[in-house]
Chain A
Amino acid sequence: LAKTTQPISMDSYEGQEVNITCSHNNIATNDYITWYQQFPSQGPRFIIQGYKTKVTNEVASLFIPADRKSSTLSLPRVSLSDTAVYYCLALPVFGKGTRLSVIA
């Protein structure tokens, strides 16, 4: 099972774009990269998933280079409500997550 590594925490001001990068050097050929968001006292919530190149949805964009050894979650114009822990994972194994704090 692929192991992922991501920054423990990040701070950002409201309205800024936030990029969280995750490394997954031993990702398997058939593994997708999935990002989840978790608020306190709630279960994780799916944000986005990709295999290669770029994926965009109404919430975020995900960039995965050709070697697939890393991925970057991009959150455009964050707001205070985006303060949460963000997990990069090759399901079903979770990494330690990045605690994002959005500051007014």
Chain B
Amino acid sequence: SAVISQKPSRDICQRGTSLTIQCQVDSQVTMMFWYRQQPGQSLTLIATANQGSEATYESGFVIDKFPISRPNLTFSTLTVSNMSPEDSSIYLCSVPAGSGYTFGSGTRLTVV
């Protein structure tokens, strides 16, 4: 199954700044998913990123706040823009692999 390298693993950021999270996959995949997991909560799908087209955002998430790039079939970035303490979460990327999905190790973001 696919292996995902996600960076950074954690960061502490000042409010009002932006952070870009990267996911590199060791194989070509058409779809990549970005999730947010707030403390003690389940994973919430932010958007689906397809190579060559604009990402599809779920209700409650907008491109201005969470711009996504998908320049090729093995790489994607998610930017958390104009951060506030409410954005403190774990962010994960995921790709279809075999019977299910493979997840990155996550980025633990703390906004102060």
Q: Is A87 an interface residue (CB 8 A)?
A: yes
A93 & B105 in contact (Cβ 8 Å cutoff) = no
The smallest beta-carbon distance between B69 and chain A, in angstroms, is: 19
- Given A36-B100, A43-B104, A46-B100, A92 and B94 contact (CB-CB distance below 8 Å): yes
Chain B residue nearest to A99 (CB atoms) is B40
B42 & A91 in contact (Cβ 8 Å cutoff) = no
B42 & A87 in contact (Cβ 8 Å cutoff) = yes
Residue B105 contacts which of A34, A43, A95, A97 (CB distance < 8 angstroms)? A43
Chain B residue nearest to A57 (CB atoms) is B99
Contact mask B40-82 → A, CB, 8 Å, 1/0?
A: 0111110010000000000000000000000000000000000
Count residues of chain B with CB under 8 A from any CB of chain A. 21
Bound-state CA distance A8–B79 (Å) is 32
Q: Is A76 an interface residue (CB 8 A)?
A: no
Residue B48 contacts which of A36, A46, A92 (CB distance < 8 angstroms)? A92
Residues of B within 8 A of A71 (CB): none
The smallest beta-carbon distance between A93 and chain B, in angstroms, is: 6
B residues neighboring A (CB under 8 Å): 33, 35, 41-45, 48, 92, 94, 96, 98-106, 108
A residues neighboring B (CB under 8 Å): 32, 34, 36, 41-46, 49, 85, 87, 91-97
